[in-house]
Amino acid sequence: MAEVPGNTSPSTDSWTPSVVTDKDGRVESEIGTQPAQDAVAVAGQPQRTGSSFGAFLNLICVVIGTGSLNLPSTLKRSGWIGVLLIGVSGCIGVLSGVLVVSSLNMLSHGRLRNFNQIGYAA
Q: What is the rounded average pLDDT of the residues 7-31?
A: 55
With a cut of 50, say whether residue 36 has pLDDT above it.
no
Give CA–CA dist 8/29, Å, rounded. 24
Average pLDDT, the chain: 76
Cβ atoms of 80 and 87 closer than 8 Å: no
With a cut of 80, say whether residue 35 has pLDDT above it.
no
Q: What is the rounded average pLDDT of the residues 53-59?
A: 91
Give CA–CA dist 93/95, Å, rounded. 5
Cα torsion 88, 94, 96, 97 to 10°: value is 160
> According to the model, what pLDDT value does residue 67 have?
86
Higher pLDDT, 6 or 107: 107
What pTM did the predictor assign?
A: 0.46
With a cut of 70, say whether residue 48 has pLDDT above it.
yes
What are the tens digits of pLDDT across the range 59-97? 999 999 998 899 899 899 999 999 999 999 999 999 999
